[in-house]
Amino acid sequence: MELQPHTLQLLVRGDFSEQKCGFRLSAEEKTLVETEGNLLVLARSGTGKTNVLLERALWRETRARELLDEGVAQIFITASPRLSTSLKEMFDSRFSSSSSSSSSSGILEFWKIIIALHASAFGRECEFATSNFHSFWRTFDDKLTRKFSEQLVRSEIVSTIKGRRETLENREPWLSRETYVEIVRQSRRADELSEADALSVYRLFEAYEKAKRGALDTNDVAHKLFRHFFRDDDDDDNNRPSLPEKYDFVYVDEVQDLTPVQLALLRVLAKDTKVGLSFAGDSAQTISGVSTFRFEALKDLFYHVFFAATDDGFSRRQKSARAQDVDQRLQNALSNPRARE
């Protein structure tokens, strides 16, 4: 469901009447908006999943003002410049309309989150090498590149070799050759990539790393930041870096556009990742050849990263959750037919 200009203006003025705003939440959508705890909405483009997240944020802000006479700190994250641009003015106007609010809320593109966290952690902004992949591609061995599309190789590098949650446990921010080949062999992509193909893709990844000459891509920076804030090699809490100010609730739209390594940084942003995370994703893209995102990867991230009892080291945090907790905390969205269409 797209928000029309007239609707945006009504929301900017703080008018939440469904009749006046020109849309009405279905019973299922209203349930999702008011669901406590974490939420995942998987739906096709145009079905209203983004609107559910937005209404959820506005509902929480309104409820907090009514019950506590103060707002809540919320952030809406997207990888889409289009969404960020279309909603930023409305979102900022809504949450800055009351001088009594002490909340900090808004919409940001993910790369801006990365830059802000890097500046907070290391006192300087970071530069990315991601945009150079096409120029790198032209320098790779054509005996390898002619076997694959540039898009497929880039997706394998970004989403799997450097994007999987397991890389957070490694000293180097990527999977080993053996691990990557085994993952491909066990996945549904085995029909598309043979073991020999996987080895060739990994050789192209190694060429990519060499071509970067130490420059960082988005996954590199995410890995660096996660290790900085949650390093497991220092048992002295006094030596641990202080975390940035956190948000009560974090919303991620088009979750399939971010890798598990990047999503792990929500652990830095959210006050409580056991209850404060809401996601919306396009189920059509999760099974396409372009994206290797799978719901199981998000579930794995909850199990190993988000459901932590403390802010202690990664290895201890890794052992703190139980698989049934993951299923229970995400079942609200998954059991809803509208959320799975």
The arithmetic mean of pLDDT across residues 207-212, rounded, is: 94
Least confident of 55-64, 255-264, 277-286: 277-286
The arithmetic mean of pLDDT across residues 81-87, rounded, is: 74
CA–CA gap between residue 292 and residue 109 (Å, rounded): 21
37 is in an annotated binding site: no
For residue 73, CA distances in Å to 96, 105, 110, 169, 250 come to 12, 5, 17, 31, 9
What is the residue extent of each domain of the chain?
A: 29-123+241-340, 130-215
Candidates 296, 301, 295, 338; CA nearest to 317 is 301
196 is in an annotated binding site: no
Bridge partner residues of 107 (DSSP): 76
Specify the pLDDT at position 309.
Answer: 42
Helices 195-212 and 177-186: crossing angle in degrees, nearest 10, is 140
Beta strand extents in the chain (DSSP E only): 39-43, 74-78, 106-109, 249-253, 277-282
pLDDT digits (tens, 9 = 90+) for 20-32: 444 577 888 888 8
Least confident of 198-202, 259-263, 315-319: 315-319
Relative to beta strand 277-282, strand 249-253 is parallel
17: its two tokens: 């009447």
- Whether 265 shows a pLDDT value over 90: the answer reads yes
The answer to whether the beta carbons of residues 39 and 332 sit under 8 Å apart is yes
The arithmetic mean of pLDDT across residues 315-324, rounded, is: 47
Edge-to-edge strand order for the sheet containing 39-43?
39-43, 277-282, 249-253, 74-78, 106-109
45 is in an annotated binding site: yes
Check residue 4 and report its DSSP letter: P
46 is in an annotated binding site: yes
Q: What is the mean pLDDT of the chain?
A: 77
What are the two backbone dihedrals, phi and then psi, of residue 274, each rounded to the nearest 5 degrees?
Answer: -80, -20
318: its two tokens: 């890794």
Q: Which CATH number fits domain 29-123+241-340: 2.40.10, 3.40.50, 3.90.660, 1.25.40?
A: 3.40.50
- Whether 270 shows a pLDDT value over 60: the answer reads yes
CA–CA gap between residue 207 and residue 198 (Å, rounded): 14
Would you place residue 139 in the very low, low, confident or very high pLDDT band (cuts 50, 70, 90)?
very high
Question: pTM here?
Answer: 0.80
Contact residues for 293 (Cβ-Cβ < 8 A; gap 6+)? 159, 255, 256, 257, 259, 281, 285, 286
The arithmetic mean of pLDDT across residues 52-76, rounded, is: 86
- Whether 39 shows a pLDDT value over 60: the answer reads yes
What are the two backbone dihedrals, phi and then psi, of residue 327, each rounded to the nearest 5 degrees?
Answer: -60, -45
Contact residues for 239 (Cβ-Cβ < 8 A; gap 6+)? none
The arithmetic mean of pLDDT across residues 34-43, rounded, is: 87
What are the two backbone dihedrals, phi and then psi, of residue 321, each rounded to the nearest 5 degrees?
Answer: -110, 165
